Amino acid sequence: MNSKALHKLSYGLYIVTSMKDNAFNGQVANSVIQISSDPASLVVSINKKNLTNEFIKSSKRLAVSVLSQEVPLSLIGRFGFKSGRDIDKFAGVNYMLTGGGLPYIAEFSLAYLEAAVIDEMEASTHDLFLCELTGAEVLNEGIPMTYAYYQQMKRGSAPQNAASFAPDAKERRNKMDRYVCSACGYVYDPEVGDPENDIPPNTSFEDLPDDWTCPVCGVGKDEFEKED
């Protein structure tokens, strides 16, 4: 069996949020699937270990922010590589509340869906939440983020960067080395720099400040390895 076959499946990219008592939490998820349209229902799959899972089980409600292709890696990192047990993920984030009082990401979302859990099923490491829609709004026009596009963004090969920043392998020879984050797979490409953190293009990895951290997951420079 070649598990890489699973990489051929296509997915969107979402931030699923919920609440418990008066606290909010949320996380990145790619498995949000519409099941029916009348009534409108979804299935959302969430790892059992995640705090968001605990919140959904507690409140039986969740919201889905449908991310735009314009979303910065730092926002995905905040909701995808940090735990709400360690930080308040919403601190400093532009969010608003659905009609039912659940948080959604106001900036960089094309729409939000609000839903009530009507059934749950255990699936080994994950729980599947079958939900009925209780609210939904379109927030912005744009192209929805896909999981595949996010992977390209992380590797500096997204189409919007490719034309100006990503020469092919042959041209790259003799150029500055690229470095890969061992924690999340983000690739630091010196030709691109790290515009989200004011690192200009043509800054070598060695010249990054000592306190520079991975723009996706936040680990330090020492967790990076030179790309093969």
CB of 30 to Fe ion, least distance (A): 18
- Tell me the C-alpha distance between 81 and 94, whole Å: 18
CB of 224 to Fe ion, least distance (A): 8
Residue type, 106: A
- Tell me the C-alpha distance between 108 and 193, whole Å: 22
CB of 197 to Fe ion, least distance (A): 13
Phi, psi of 71 (to 5 degrees): -60, 135
CB of 109 to Fe ion, least distance (A): 23
Our CB check for Fe ion shows the closer of 113 and 214 to be 214
Our CB check for Fe ion shows the closer of 80 and 84 to be 80
Grouping H, G, I as helix, E, B as strand and the rest as coil, residue 188 is: strand
Structure token pair of residue 162:
């490719």
Our CB check for Fe ion shows the closer of 29 and 181 to be 181
Instruction: Note the residues at the interface with Fe ion (CB under 5 A).
Output: 181, 183-184, 186, 214, 216-217
Rounded to 5°, angle at Cα 33 from 27 and 38? 125
Rounded to 5°, angle at Cα 174 from 170 and 180? 85
CB of 178 to Fe ion, least distance (A): 14
Grouping H, G, I as helix, E, B as strand and the rest as coil, residue 2 is: coil
